[in-house]
């Protein structure tokens, strides 16, 4: 890990690091926010934030307005990049923004030429936590959240690894990627044409599989969705996730917010609610 930037923020520290990843086989950059309690060496829980299409680690840290509440609640925030990058990493052959660089979809690709680098699920769930949690004053409890493509990634990570996360939330997640244009494009290229292999990367399908778990093993999910989101009907499909949760008895709170779109203005408006929710689940709130 090489530190490449550090700024003081609300008494804590915003830091950026780069390292060479053994999972995605390229140099990766990620950001960490250390609240004052962590800066002073006190053990704190970690919230992993996964950003959406076209984003990097910088979007959330600069635009979401999360540092003030994270400082108050004693939450460490870790924000990885959204995909592998570099000249050696193949992107979209047509230069489109919704696939390739900035659009890793937080899955493990099985198809060439993507499989060597696009292993973002394992990077986020395994390699990055292993790399940094021993270096942070980590309490041993972690949550995960994200926006849009990152909301999809957060839901999938937590549903595939229910014992690993004690809190889950999302803003405007791609809820049913098997049934939307963004997801179908990404899944077909990364995973191949066998749709049955896509099911392990779709939150609605994973929610059905979670019914085999004990009710106590299913971590409640908080989701906010703007009703003025221009991607709502074609890409996000929150009603599919709501139906899956109801059918399989999964604890889900899905709040529809009138007038809000897909932007970081939306995220900034409700990020405090999400941070309080994570802190309560992770044992860092009264």
Condensed to tens digits (0 to 9), the pLDDT of residues 65-101 reads 999 999 999 999 999 999 999 999 999 988 999 999 9
State yes or no: is 274 an active-site residue.
Answer: no
- In terms of Cα–Cα distance, which of 136, 150, 128 is closest to 13? 136
Residue for token pair 């994570």: 278
Q: Is cis: bond before 113, omega within 30 of 0?
A: yes
Lookup result for tokens 């053994």: 22
Read off the pLDDT of residues 248-269 as tens digits, 9 standing for 90 and up.
Answer: 999 999 999 999 999 999 999 9
Per the structure block, which two tokens stand in for 73?
Answer: 């609640």
Q: Is the pTM of this model over 0.85?
A: yes
- For residue 225, which of 183, 160, 169 has the smallest C-alpha distance? 169
Q: pLDDT, tens digit, for every residue of 132-152? A: 999 999 999 999 999 999 999
What would the two tokens of residue 266 be?
Answer: 């939306």
Q: What is the pLDDT of residues 28-51, one digit of tens each?
A: 999 999 999 998 889 999 999 999
Residue 211 binned pLDDT confidence (cut-offs 50, 70, 90):
low
Strand partners, 29: 18
- Residue 229 is among the residues annotated as catalytic for this protein: yes
At residue 39, the pLDDT reads: 87
Compute φ and ψ for 101, nearest 5 degrees: -55, 125
Q: Is 210 a catalytic residue?
A: no
User: DSSP state, 218?
Assistant: S
Specify the number of domains making up the chain: 1
Whole-number pLDDT of residue 208: 86
Question: Domain holding 124: CATH number?
Answer: 3.40.50.1820
Task: Pick the catalytic residue from 51, 83, 139, 148.
Answer: 148
Report pLDDT for 214: 58
Instruction: Name the nearest CA neighbour of 138 among 219, 75, 68.
Output: 75
**Choosing from 101, 147, 262, 278, which is the catalytic residue?**
262
Domain residue limits at 169: 2-282
In this structure, are residues 175 and 233 in contact, taking their beta carbons and an 8 Å threshold? Answer: no
pLDDT beyond 70 at 284: no
Cβ distance 148 to 60 under 8 Å? Answer: no
Q: What would the two tokens of residue 274 be?
A: 């999400």
């Amino acid at each position: 890990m090489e530190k490449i930037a550090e700024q003081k923020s609300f008494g804590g520290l915003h830091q950026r690091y780069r390292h060479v990843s053994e999972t995605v086989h390229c140099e990766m950059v990620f950001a960490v926010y250390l609240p004052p309690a962590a800066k002073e060496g006190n053990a704190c829980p970690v919230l992993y934030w996964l950003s959406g299409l076209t984003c990097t680690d910088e979007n959330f840290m600069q635009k979401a307005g999360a540092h003030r509440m994270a400082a108050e609640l004693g939450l460490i925030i870790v924000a990885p990049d959204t995909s592998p990058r570099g000249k050696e990493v193949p992107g979209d052959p047509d230069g489109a923004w919704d696939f390739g660089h900035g659009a890793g979809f937080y899955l493990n690709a099985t198809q060439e030429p993507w499989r060597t680098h696009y292993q973002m699920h394992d990077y986020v769930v395994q390699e990055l936590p292993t790399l940094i949690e021993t270096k942070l004053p980590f309490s041993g409890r972690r949550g995960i959240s994200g926006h849009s493509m990152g909301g999809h990634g957060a839901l999938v990570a937590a549903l595939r690894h229910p014992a690993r996360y004690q809190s889950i939330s999302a803003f405007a997640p791609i809820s049913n990627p098997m049934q939307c244009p963004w997801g179908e494009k990404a899944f077909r290229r990364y995973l191949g044409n066998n749709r049955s292999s896509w099911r392990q990367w779709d939150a609605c399908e994973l929610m059905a599989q979670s019914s085999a778990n004990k009710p106590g093993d299913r971590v409640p999910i908080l989701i906010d969705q703007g009703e003025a989101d221009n991607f709502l009907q074609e890409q996000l499909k929150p009603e599919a996730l709501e139906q899956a949760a109801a059918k399989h008895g999964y604890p889900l709170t899905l709040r529809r917010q009138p007038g809000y779109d897909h932007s970081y203005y939306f995220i900034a408006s409700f990020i405090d609610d999400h941070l309080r929710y994570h802190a309560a689940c992770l044992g860092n709130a009264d």
